[in-house]
Structure 1
Amino acid sequence: MRLLTTSLLIATLGLTACATVRDSPINPANWFGRSQSESIQRESRAAKNPLIPEERRTGLFKSLRNDIAAYNGQPIDQVSGLVIERIPGGAIIRATGISSFDGAHSVQLTPATDDSTPVEGVLTYRLEAERPSALRRTTSQRVRTVTAAVRLSDNDLKDVRVIRVEGERNAQTTARR
């Protein structure tokens, strides 16, 4: 019982002492003073917002973000293979072709339509690659062989009966079983 009475007496004295410490510099809440209300002068609405920076800051990768490079691919000479691989949630279309030039790079399957939709059940792609800046001599067929792939979801494939990949001289097609 003595312990309870002693702790209640100390707590009561501590709470009453807070009134005297409230205005003293010992209290951390007083270190910055009391807040006061001030009237502000309104500027015209045409003035700029001080929270928005005057100039746009440039980042390290700004040039990559703003400049979208145009793809300058040309169709591959021959399409030598077309494989459709089923995956969960869709399929992967993998096309192999033989280029007429060495050093083909940035190989991709480009959709023949703008929105990559099938026309009368036929989904058409072009196998394209960019030419190197320096012309090289033509080497073996094995060196000029390129491969590209594109992933399609089940929703993209729902109206497709035939997939066609075109090259410069030929096209490969595969039909749904």
Structure 2
Amino acid sequence: MRAKAIAMLSLVALSACSGGSSNPFGSLGSIGSLNPFGGRDEAPARSSDGMPVAPADGSVLVERLETVRPEPALRGVIIRASGIASTQGYFGARLAPVNGGLPDEAGVVTYEFRVLPPETVEPTGTDTQRRLIVATFVPDADLAEVRGFRVVARTNSVDLRR
């Protein structure tokens, strides 16, 4: 009984460790030397024909990206992004992989930051009120041929390079 109690206390104490990061999420992604992707480039959003294709679920691209960052994870990487919607009320945010999540000829995997629009007209509000945060996990097995990631919004995109 005593051994179980000590083991439980040890596990609880260890679970509170954040790996030395000041990030509230306990990630090492903010430490430059451990970040698996080096640079971050911002560019206007691009599409092959200039017109985005509307998916069957009715989702749209978020208005603009605010931050995109990779975070090392056990056996992979987490791509975390925050975006600002055009008005309040958008929901169901997700990073939707383009091309089935496979890298393009340059080795870049592209994700679209998609949201579902509100059913009624909503007030604009502040950026804080319109902010949406999403993340997706990419396992190590899928990273072998990947040279970087691109996250696309309606008005901009962010490229992460390895």
Contact 1:84 1:92 in 2 (8 A): yes
Residue 126 of structure 2 corresponds to which residue in structure 1?
A: 140
Select the residue among 82, 85, 109 that pairs with 2:71.
Answer: 85
* Partners of 2:92 and 2:62 in 1: CA distance: 12
Deviation at 1:103, TM superposition (A): 0.9
How many Å separate the matches in 2 of 1:83 and 1:155? 20
Q: State the SS of the aligned residue for 2:127.
A: coil
Higher relative contact order (CA 8 A, sep 6+): 2
- How many Å apart are 1:102 and its aligned residue? 0.9
AA aligned to 2:118 is P
Q: Secondary structure at the match of 2:129?
A: coil
1:129 aligned residue: 115
TM-score normalised by L of structure 2: 0.63
Larger Rg: 1
The one-letter code sitting in structure 2 at the alignment partner of 1:155 is: A
Aligned residues: 106
**What's the CA shift string for 1:48-103, capped at 9, x where partnerless?**
xxxxxxxxxxxxxxxxxxxxxx5221001111111101111101110111111211
1:13-162 equivalence runs, <5 A: 71-113=57-99, 115-120=100-105, 121-162=107-148
TM-score (norm 1): 0.58
**What one-letter code is carried by the residue in structure 2 that aligns with 1:169?**
T
Cα RMSD of the aligned pairs, angstroms, is: 1.0
Residue 42 of structure 1 corresponds to which residue in structure 2? none
Identity score, percent: 30
Taking the aligned partners of 1:116 and 1:92, their CA distance within structure 2 comes to: 14
